[in-house]
Amino acid sequence: MRLHHILELTKANLIYANPQMIEKKRNKEAKTGQRSKVAPHMTVLLQSGFLLLVFLLIYGFMFSAIDFSQYPGMFTTLTLLFIVMALLQGFYVVYNLFYESKDLIHYLPLPFKGSEVFLAKLTVLALMMLPYLIPILGLFIMLGQDAGHPFLLSLIASVPLFILLTVVVFFFSVVLVHLITKLAVFRKNKQLVTTVLYSASSFGMIAVIFYLSSMDPSSVEVGQVAPDTTVIPFIHFFYALLLDPSDLTAWLGLGLWIALLAALMLIVFKWVVPGFYREEEIVSVKSSKQSSTSQTSTHHLQHLEKTTGKKKTAASHQHPVSVNRTLWKYNLGLIQDGTLIMQHISSSILFPIFLLGPMVLNGLYLGELSLNYWALFFFGGFVYAFLTLNAISIVGVIISLDRENFQYMKSLPFSMKNYLKQKFLFAFVIELSLPLVLGLLLIFIAKVPLLLGFLFLSGMVIGIFTLCQYYFARDYRLLDFEWQNLTELFNRGGGNFAQFISIFGSFFIGFIVILFLGLLFTSLSSIGQLLLSLLIVLIPFIASCLLTIRYQKRFWSQFND
């Protein structure tokens, strides 16, 4: 193998690992007219390095107050959580590098060895997953220190064990993704299965972050023995070996890890790597995009054309149920994109989990709350809607996802108003689903009285409906059919920074207003409380009605039935 070839291949694969960042960098260079001095692959590498440093410092600081020699269960649980985070991230990277990059067909005629191509991809995989695993190295070193070993000895013992664990995770992620792509259901429903896996990856990542954010390491004093979690057996070998290097059982367990690594390497180099160069694999990679959402969308639109063609004699304002059902299937095909699904999940529930999760886990109980606060719960649900919806949500790009199909739709004997209304209703249902489920869970966990919970959900539904109208009309105003990736759509009208400010501004302003209203409510008489409650409910309700009327006149009226 030639190191120079591996290095050049690694640079290329760094670009494939994060195409969204590279596209954003190129768009910025195109707008400014100046080429960045930082190479594209270095941009991805620097981001990964920065993330690695941040994770190491943050989690190192979080767990520095814990004596892990007293908590084997917590040690193994944290190790497993970071492994899960790395595997979830690894699925996205492995799939992009080995299956979505489409570079294998270009490498075959060139003088590259298969081992060089694979090692370059594995190197990039390591660089992308390492930030999620680096806290484990900190855990290993801290455990050695807590056991009373010299720092140098702890470091020498921790690094080889960390390398072993890391390599096992790398190879396991490659084997896992390869097995998934071999499934018949994946080959027949590639786009759908990929979307489901991306969604599971997002949910899993959020669950891990939620668990870690709920922990309070500062409450455990040095040397204090508190209730521990269950010890995870296979990972416990690392704990036992770092705690006592003379433990024979721990060395036998380490032998099992080495055997696992050998088995994974055998699978990868004997079956996985050769599979990348078989003709059927190349055909599969080349045809992956051909079976994507656009084909599904075109199929549904062709079916719609036949359906509407049969209905030409019907009244123009009548829309058969079958046509609307076809439109919903078409819109469902539009959103089956992994990046879009991950963005939707993160924007819908990630911020609420970060902001409200710790309060729930710390024992939030509202079962005995007076029903006099009914208006505050309605207003709270309305404010909650602003945490779950923004311009980078599905409703904010649902029209632009049509691309050329939007013009094609205009040529059909069908009402554009009904077409857009069905698209709006579809997006509204999608945007409402996750916040509604999360809201129900919050009500159930906090034991919120039924009436207060109903009012909270009512305020949330009204708020989401109002925001959906705004972002739907905004998408039409900023309509773009020439986008190359979803990042271009998300960056319209201010980009991610503006959305970040909007979400956190909504939370802090809403929190301050609710707190102020709560304090004001307790200082008023019964009549004053009633009047204030009516005012709290009527203001957002009237505002929503006025905005709906405004959009009916200014937006929907421009389309004919």
| pLDDT tops 90 at residue 86 | no
Residue 283 structure tokens: 């055909």
Region at 361 (left for phi over 0; alpha for psi -120 to 50; beta for the rest): alpha
One domain, residues 142 and 280: yes
Q: Are residues 284 and 340 in the same domain?
A: no
Position with higher pLDDT, 341 vs 561: 341
Please say which residue of 289, 310, 326 terminates a domain. 289
Longest dimension (CA), the chain: 87
Give the pLDDT score at 289: 46
The sign of the CA dihedral 455, 456, 458, 459 is positive
* Nearest-5° Cα angle at 423, 422 to 427: 115
Return the half-sphere exposure (C-beta side, CA atoms, 13 A cut-off) of residue 2: 7
Any residues with CB less than 8 A from the CB of 551 and at least 6 apart, and which? 469, 470, 473
What pLDDT, on the 0 to 100 scale, is given for residue 293? 46
Q: What is the mean pLDDT of residues 228-247?
A: 86
CA distance 181 to 194: 9
Evaluated on CA atoms 167, 168, 173, 176, the torsion sign reads positive
Instruction: Tell me the per-residue pLDDT of 31-65, one tens digit each, with 9 for 90 and over.
Output: 677 776 677 777 777 877 877 887 777 777 777 77
Interval 86-95 mean pLDDT: 74
Rounded Cα–Cα distance for residues 443 and 367 (Å): 10
Supply 59's token pair. Answer: 């989690």
Q: Which of 328-342, 497-511, 542-556 has the lowest mean pLDDT?
A: 497-511
Choice between 469 and 218, residue whose per-residue pLDDT is larger = 469
User: Which of these three, 260, 289, 318, is where a domain ends?
Assistant: 289
Q: Clarify whether residues 68 and 204 are in a common domain.
A: yes
**Measuring CA to CA, how many Å separate 224 from each of 20, 76, 150, 232, 240?**
47, 18, 22, 22, 20
Give tens-digit pLDDT for 138-184: 899 989 888 888 888 888 999 999 999 999 998 898 888 788 777 77
Q: What is the pLDDT of residue 28?
A: 66
Structural domains in the chain (count): 2
Q: At 284, is the pLDDT very low, low, confident or very high (cuts 50, 70, 90)?
A: very low
User: Span 233-239, mean pLDDT?
Assistant: 90
Type of residue at 319: H
Q: pLDDT tens for residues 435-454?
A: 898 888 888 888 888 898 99
Is position 201 within any domain? yes
Q: How many CB atoms lie within 10 A of CB 325?
A: 13
Domain final residue pick, 274, 289, 304: 289
Judge whether 135 and 56 are in contact, CB under 8 Å. yes
Residue spans of alpha helices (H) in 373-415: 374-388, 405-410
Instruction: Work out the number of other CB atoms within 10 angstroms of the CB of residue 34.
Output: 9
pLDDT value at position 285?
A: 44
In terms of pLDDT, which residue wins out, 498 or 183?
A: 183
Distance of CA 119 to the CA centre of its chain: 28
The DSSP 8-state label assigned to residue 99 in this structure reads I
pLDDT at 455: 92
**Does residue 345 sit within a domain?**
yes
Contacts of 120 (CB under 8 A, 6+ apart): 6, 7, 9, 10, 12, 13
| Dihedral (CA of 527, 528, 531, 533) sign | negative
Q: What is the pLDDT of residues 353-403, one digit of tens each?
A: 666 665 665 566 777 777 888 888 899 889 888 888 877 788 988 998 888
Higher pLDDT residue, 191 or 90? 90
- pLDDT band with cut points at 50, 70 and 90 for residue 334: confident
Is the domain of 363 the same as that of 499?
A: yes
Same domain for 277 and 408: no
Contacts of 183 (CB under 8 A, 6+ apart): 193
3-class state of residue 225 by DSSP: coil
Are 401 and 509 members of one domain? yes
Which residue, among 101, 107, 97, 112, has the nearest Cα to 4 in the 3D structure?
112
Taking Cα atoms as reference points, which of 54, 45, 5 lies closest to residue 25?
45
Alpha-carbon distance of 450 to 437, in angstroms, equals: 16
Using the predicted structure, report yes or no on whether residue 311 has a pLDDT greater than 50: no
Q: Which domain holds residue 199?
A: 49-289
Structural domain includes residue 28: no
Residues 402 and 550 in one domain: yes
361, 442: one domain: yes
Residue 264 CB burial class (10 angstroms; 0-12, 13-18, ≥19):
buried
Residue 397 and residue 272 share a domain: no
Q: Are residues 86 and 151 in the same domain?
A: yes
The answer to whether residue 243 is domain-embedded is yes
Check residues 398 and 25 and name the one with the higher pLDDT.
Answer: 398
Whether the Cβ atoms of residue 177 and residue 95 lie closer than 8 Å to each other: yes
* Within-domain flag for 313: no
Question: How many residues are given for the chain?
Answer: 561
Residues 364 and 432 in one domain: yes
Q: Is 60 inside a domain boundary?
A: yes
Query: 310 lies in a domain?
Result: no
Query: 165 and 223 share a domain?
Result: yes
Question: Which one-letter amino acid corresponds to residue 487?
Answer: T
Asked whether the predicted pLDDT for residue 456 surpasses 70, the reply is yes
